[in-house]
Structures are given as structure tokens and as C-alpha cells.
Chain A
Amino acid sequence: GQNIDQPTEMTATEGAIVQINCTYQTSGFNGLFWYQQHAGEAPTFLSYNVLDGLEEKGRFSSFLSRSKGYSYLLLKELQMKDSASYLCAVRVKDSNYQLIWGAGTKLIIKP
């Protein structure tokens, strides 16, 4: 079956760095996405990885290892507005390229 695991909740301090991990077991891997979702709002796109390695986008970076079925999202210089849920999603070829979603990691930023 298709499965994506993320920690349920993490806490970090303003100004610090946090790494949110995602492990997946899926068939027909076709890319991995990270989305941010603030409470009561819609998910918004953060990053996309399809090849192994690190993709950097300002304060946010995302890493992928396809052989290990592993990704992480790295958030630097944390701000209070980064308090949100972070959703990992894997695109699978076998099911018309649908996204399989993790349950999300709720990140709490403390001053």
C-alpha cells in the first residue's frame, strides 16, 4: 500500500532552525511536494523534489533521497508566522499522478 509518515507535532524557537522529516513507501514515485497549511486555511505550495539532493528556496530547503524513501524540510531563521502544519505529499504515476498525502506536522514556534 501507499504510506507516508511524518511526526505529528514539533516545537521550535523563533530564530532557530528546524528539520521536519517525511518517510514514504509508495509505488510509481514521481516527485515529492511540501505544502504549508495555516490553521483554517488552504495548503500552499512550498517545494518540489524529484531528483536526489537539496533544493533551496530562501529560508526553506527540501531534501530527497529516493533510495531511502526519505525527505526533509529545513526551515531556517524561524519566524512566528511559520507556525503552521507542513504536509508532505508524494506524486504517484500508477494512479493518474495523484498526490498521496501525509497527515502533516504541526510546527509550533515559541518566542
Chain B
Amino acid sequence: DTAVSQTPKYLVTQMGNDKSIKCEQNLGHDTMYWYKQDSKKFLKIMFSYNNKELIINETVPNRFSPKSPDKAHLNLHINSLELGDSAVYFCASSPGLADPSYEQYFGPGTRLTVT
């Protein structure tokens, strides 16, 4: 069984379009994350939810909007896509915030290409 899943795996779209990426985890974790990994391979946190509450909201254009309908799902909607949005987007989850040793489990990633 897949622990953290994302759809779609690949997304090719044109500038100006609106798209969504979905993430689901079946680990019973409380905390979920969205990361962006650019061509230089830096993993940059975008958002984090703990028990459906937004706790991390880094400096990200407001064209990006996360939504957590329940603890097992965290979706990412992107409006008015730009060339610079091309990257791999990873969803991740962890059991919670209480124990600092909690590792994060990553989904397979969504490779977004904006043309």
C-alpha cells in the first residue's frame, strides 16, 4: 500500500492556466507538507498543516493555495501558472510535531512543466 500518494505524477500545461495537485496519506499522520524542489535540487517548504490547521506558510505567491479537507489530504491549487513554477512538487507527512525525531515521509512527487 502506498503511504503518501500524489496525483498527477506529471503535469504539462501552458502559462496562465490553473491546475491542482492532490495528496493523500494513509499513515494516520497529523502533519502534512508541500515542498517545491527546483532544478538546483533545493527542497523548499511551502506550506504545512497540522490537524487541518495551517501552521507554516512561507513566502509563496498567493497564486498558490493549499487546502486540507481532512487530516489525510492536502491539495495544492495553483492559479495563473508561470514559467518559474516549473519544478517538482513533493507532498510529505509526519506523525506530528510533538516528537522532534519524527521523520517525514514523502510522496513520489509531481513534475510540473509550464510552457
Seen from chain A, the residues whose Cβ lies within 8 Å of a Cβ on chain B are: 30-31, 33, 41-45, 48, 50, 85, 87, 89, 91, 95-99, 101, 103-104
Contact = CB atoms under 8 A, between A and B. Distances in A.
25 contacts: A41-B109, A42-B90, A42-B107, A43-B90, A43-B106, A44-B106, A45-B103, A45-B105, A48-B101, A50-B100, A87-B43, A95-B56, A96-B48, A96-B50, A96-B55, A96-B97, A97-B97, A98-B45, A98-B48, A98-B56, A101-B42, A101-B43, A101-B44, A103-B40, A103-B41
B104 interface: yes
B101 A42 contact: no
Given A31-B101, A99-B45, 10 more contacts: A30-B100, A41-B108, A42-B90, A42-B107, A42-B109, A48-B101, A85-B41, A96-B56, A98-B56, A103-B40
B41 A45 contact: no
Contacts of A30: 100
Nearest to B105: A45
B101 A50 contact: yes
A33 B106 CA distance: 14
Interface of B: 40-45, 48, 50, 55-56, 90, 97, 100-101, 103-109
A48 B103 contact: yes
B42 A103 contact: yes
A91 B100 contact: yes
Contacts of B41: 85, 103-104
